[in-house]
Structure 1
């Protein structure tokens, strides 16, 4: 009688049964910071090893063979710049960055702050009169969706069309749920529908450009050339989906963490400036992106007494690295002051956690995600009266890559007015 081998630690992490608390498994995984899986791929979980590979040009982000399942591929479109290697990645990212951040467009994100505050305030107003609310459906999801629509110049009334498209694209990232062929079919179908939608929107913006990012990209004539129409489509898809999916998780994980640490919640209510450092700790402690799958070794790589052979698929487990005790003192403790440079003299925050990845693929939307989360958590803690979890742990999304509560039911005794 054949004996079935027990599932690997990483396979257990992928199992939905462990979605609510994968961190003990991450600690077990780190005992071997680079480990080969039964399918020949390699999982990297130590902080130092992850940082080394994030900056190693021999680790490719381009999609190869069975790993090809990202934006663009399979739908007659090129991959998004996130799925390209230098030099083409760098050229396309420079084109988009010219219209998004410093030095060419330094106020793109900061100029959104008044609207971001108004949006959150209105969503919190809508919670009044209910003894129980769902902070995912009523705040954490609609807020970043509204923000990314405003940034791109997408009509807000079209948002209901995006949700099933986004669900299909995110499901394609899930390595452990459902039939892979069916996930691929749904992803390609969503890509084609999104392509038709955005092609019409881009045509309109070219003839009548506005102040939005999509107009700027559609009419760009910068020193690095311009995005072709297919490249513009996949860039729009990337910004729309990545621009809200991860932030939904960050806000939801943030409120869940605060409700589990009422002393910190009360402190944030009194000290709104704490949000800046608190969000950095959230990115370390409960990151919205748990790992980066589908990297490929372009050459044999020697790391942590292990050889990753050329052609091997590599997964970088960011959430495990950010809690590596070899890098972070007392890593399983939520400390909102951990990233306060005035108290601890820390280096740049990107040297301290992996919440936004690192290297050439460092999260493009980090400035906006930080602002959205700071504003949302501050407003929610300031205005909700006696918030408390209805169920702990809450139900989680099935996807192990983009980990966060699917719903976050919270009981409240009321909502303070915006000027209270």
Structure 2
């Protein structure tokens, strides 16, 4: 086994363990608060900070890496300027969302009781500042990865997820549900500090701020904006889940959250297995212009996804109730919580292949320097078809309509991506 494959394998294992800790957090919340308004508040408060972390952090970091590989200017200066750009963007967005806390929360979650809204607000104010650190951590992870320091970035995510759940549990007795806000903040600080120390010890580049709009920074934004819109449209699934679920009875927000996270875990783990095999070869073959190998990688990856996710989907769908009971049903997560979550979980299970396949196919679009088309398809699917399906099925299917929206829109998005890739590149 080559050294690179050993590194990739180690990173994949660490990422899987990190995701398991992230899922453990949901299990613990279920054990402590079940499907109550308190569990709803925790899921609701985390929605917007997590949105900023994934969309802004992911988009700017992806663009940073793209420009880094092609810049003809001094890389040290580019790193400093891009770090400053990411820092300013993260602080500006977070400050705006914190200054207008009440209008923002009421815009999305305006039908909560005064007591529930107060808890959401307190949790939000704890969690929101962590988005600055998380965005910067994502950028530092990208900078470390392009310099071969893969383990540092993977360990940082593991540290964050483990610390988040550990601190929240330890502080539950004195602080109650607000321990999850405190846990989010402390875990982000630990993650950011870990990466910063690793960055400094690696002696790669200075992170001293450098202001001014260079040509490379302009290119960074040109590349980042389509990726930001694409990432935002996908993350809108989660935000829409929270907003629509808030219109149902108490406990539906947390039930939808547990169901989506539960079906997202095998999808993410199996996607990691496929990407470990496929992605290291993709960019290399694209650079060489080897279309025949790229087509084989595309077909092989799709075959792997079907082989891995079809059985996982069948098991999740047909054994939904015993699976949920085994994983969640203890403490405050009662039999009633299991029955509430089961039909939602079953429909989300049907979307696992399509969500994974859409992510997989989109990477081929990015390799072809085509980031606009996936964004258009995502916007149509998530903000058009998804919302339409939810509201058309809402009265007949209740909370399960949220999952049906994800399933049907993801399937249609998959069809559009496949057809366009077939016509454009014969994939």
For normalisation by structure 2, the TM-score amounts to 0.27
**Higher share in helix:** 2
Q: Relative contact order (alpha carbons < 8 A, sep ≥ 6): 1 or 2 greater?
A: 1
Task: Report the structure, 1 or 2, having the larger strand content.
Answer: 1
TM-score by length of 1: 0.27
